[in-house]
């Protein structure tokens, strides 16, 4: 179930004097179960691209398909899970109820799913299942959001800088958990980040985008075995190459 983007461009407010070309002629093929990181300057259209793939924004030109479905169809079929910078939890509900809600409002999903409590156990939150989400730390709230991401059993995970607001140690811990879950469930992942080392540590492939209007400027395939040691010369060489590409297009 590959993800395919063909000649995709997007302009905000196209008919007004404030028209802004956010993305220009994006072409991309992502293979099933591939983990792809997108990195680029602020405002280069990374989040816009994910919103288009999630069916939240209609591109002004070109197309995107997730397997044989367009983004709206894939979203309606619950093939897509989205995780953003803010967990967007319901504070009046318990941790367990927040995770269960995704399955409750999508009862026709035919995929084999883990129970909400099993999902919380996966992200090491089973013991706080009855707590209200507003009582949790930022890292724990993002763990709840991660469990909710898993709740639909979706084939595509769109991750828009989900841990950027967290401290470095918590962020590294959660990215390790994401990798473990990806290895278990094998979804296709698009991961937006500003952190070069994070991109190299996690992805099969890192795509470098240019400043607005965003285009895919460079591609780096990461052939290092996982888990990846950031202190090795090979890892640091890739980081330097990506940093150089970013400097050219920032």
Query: Among the three residues 153, 176, 203, which one is the final residue of a domain in this structure?
Result: 153
Chain CA centroid to CA 236, Å = 24
pLDDT tens for each residue of 167-222: 888 888 889 989 999 998 999 999 999 999 999 999 999 999 999 899 999 999 99
Query: 64, 70 in Cβ contact below 8 A?
Result: yes
Instruction: Report residue 5 as tokens.
Output: 């983007």
Question: What's the whole-number mean pLDDT along residues 209-237?
Answer: 95
145-174 pLDDT, tens digit per residue, is: 999 888 888 999 999 998 888 888 888 888
Q: What is the pTM of this model?
A: 0.91
The pLDDT score that the predictor gives to residue 173 is 87
The CA dihedral of 218, 38, 14, 250, to the nearest 10 degrees, is -60
CA distance 112 to 154: 10
Q: Is the predicted pLDDT of residue 109 greater than 70, yes or no?
A: no
- Number of folded domains that form the chain: 2
Q: Which of 118, 153, 188 is at the close of a domain?
A: 153
- From residue 57, give the alpha-carbon distance in Å to each of 53, 87, 182, 206, 236: 8, 20, 26, 24, 36
Written as six digits, the tokens of 176 are: 């390790």
pLDDT tens by residue, 33-77: 999 999 999 889 999 999 999 999 999 999 999 998 999 999 988
Which pLDDT belongs to residue 87? Answer: 87
User: Which of the listed residues 153, 176, 201 is the one where a domain comes to its end?
Assistant: 153
- Expressed as residue numbers, the domain containing 114 is 90-153
13 inside domain: no
- Are residues 62 and 186 located together in one domain of the fold? yes
- Residue 202 phi/psi, 5-degree rounding, is -100, -35
Least confident stretch, 2-16, 92-106, 198-212: 92-106
Tokens of 190: 């698009």
Is 172 found in the same domain as 223? yes
Domain membership of residue 229 (yes or no) is yes
**Token pair recorded at residue 160:** 């828009």
Average pLDDT score over residue span 94-122:
80
CB atoms within 10 A of CB 164: 14
Backbone φ, ψ for residue 21 (5° rounding): -80, 110
């Amino acid at each position: 179930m590959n993800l395919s983007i063909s000649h995709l461009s997007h302009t905000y407010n196209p008919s007004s004097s404030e028209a802004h070309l956010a993305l220009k002629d994006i072409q991309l093929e992502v293979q099933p179960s591939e983990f792809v990181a997108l990195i680029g300057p602020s405002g280069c259209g990374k989040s816009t691209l994910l919103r288009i793939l999630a069916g939240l924004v209609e591109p002004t030109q070109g197309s995107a398909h997730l397997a044989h479905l367009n983004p709206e169809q894939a979203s309606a079929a619950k093939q897509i899970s989205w995780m953003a910078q803010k967990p967007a939890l319901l504070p009046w509900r318990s941790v367990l109820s927040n995770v269960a809600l995704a399955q409750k409002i999508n009862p026709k999903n035919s995929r084999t799913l883990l129970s909400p409590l099993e999902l919380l156990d996966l992200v090491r939150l089973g013991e706080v299942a009855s707590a209200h989400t507003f009582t949790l730390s930022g890292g724990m709230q993002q763990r709840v959001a991660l469990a909710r991401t898993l709740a639909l059993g979706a084939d595509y995970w769109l991750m828009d800088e989900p841990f950027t607001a967290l401290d470095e140690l918590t962020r590294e811990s959660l990215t390790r958990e994401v990798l473990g879950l990806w290895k278990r469930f094998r979804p296709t992942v698009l991961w937006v980040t500003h952190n070069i080392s994070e991109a190299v540590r996690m992805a099969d492939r890192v795509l470098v985008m240019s400043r607005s209007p965003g285009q895919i400027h460079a591609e780096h395939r990461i052939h290092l075995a996982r888990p990846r040691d950031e202190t090795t010369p090979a890892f640091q060489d890739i980081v330097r190459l990506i940093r150089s590409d970013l400097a050219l297009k920032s």
